Structures are given as structure tokens and as C-alpha cells.
Amino acid sequence: MNICILHIGDLGPQDKPKHPPSPERFRVGISRHLADARWTVISAVRDHLPAPSDFDAYLITGGKYSVFEQLDWQDRLFDFIQALHRAEIPLVGICYGHQAIAHALGGAVVRSEKGCGAWG
């Protein structure tokens, strides 16, 4: 299975997180259950998105953005999500990723009164 991680965040050396970058965490965690999976990480913010059929499944990570911001790359990501949905290609969204999926497919995304990163 070929899985593409669409990373919403910086893959640059200036990021010095306490934990491994989220693409690596997801790859390691999911590989426990899909040992034969092949992984590709693409920056959805900076890179060209692949054709939907290029991969068997996609995962959109979290990041510092929200769907409420007007960012030049978001519309092409929303269009891409709609294309994946039409093609019935598996897609998982984490944090920003699930906001983007809900927004792209016509769902309501609302701001949390508790702020960014808050649960509940």
C-alpha cells in the first residue's frame, strides 16, 4: 500500500520540536499495523499535490493553521480533498487535517471558545 502524508507545517531545519515531526510519528504508528506500507511525505503548503490516483490512501497532518485563514494554498488542498472523496480514496485528517476535510466537504467548522489546540 502506498500512503501519502500531506504535511501541514514546516519540514525545514528551523523546526526543532521536542518530539519527532508528525509525519514520522504517524508513519511509525501506522506501520505497526501496515508493515508493508510505503510512505511519501509531501508538504501540502509548499509542494504540488499529486494526482489523487498516485497513492492508495492519504493522511493530512495538523499544523499551525486553521481553515479560517485565507491562505493561498488552502483552496487547492480543499479541491484535492473533494477529488479524493469523489474517487473514494481513503483519507484521514488529524487536527488541521480534519478541519480541512470537514470544510472541503461542506461541513461546519467552528472556532473553539477555548482557543487553538483545545479539546471539548
What number of other Cβ atoms are within 10 A of residue 66's Cβ?
Answer: 17
Into how many domains does the chain fold?
A: 1
Pairing relationship of beta strands 38-43 and 2-7 according to DSSP bridges? parallel
The reply to whether 49 falls in a domain is yes
Which pTM value belongs to this model? 0.84
The reply to whether 92 falls in a domain is yes
pLDDT one-digit tens code per residue, 9-51: 764 555 555 555 578 888 888 888 999 999 999 999 988 999 9
The reply to whether 119 falls in a domain is no
- Torsion angle, alpha carbons of 17, 18, 22, 25, to 10: 150
We report the CATH number of the domain holding residue 9 as 3.40.50.880
Which residues, 6 or more positions from 115, have their beta carbon under 8 angstroms from its beta carbon? none
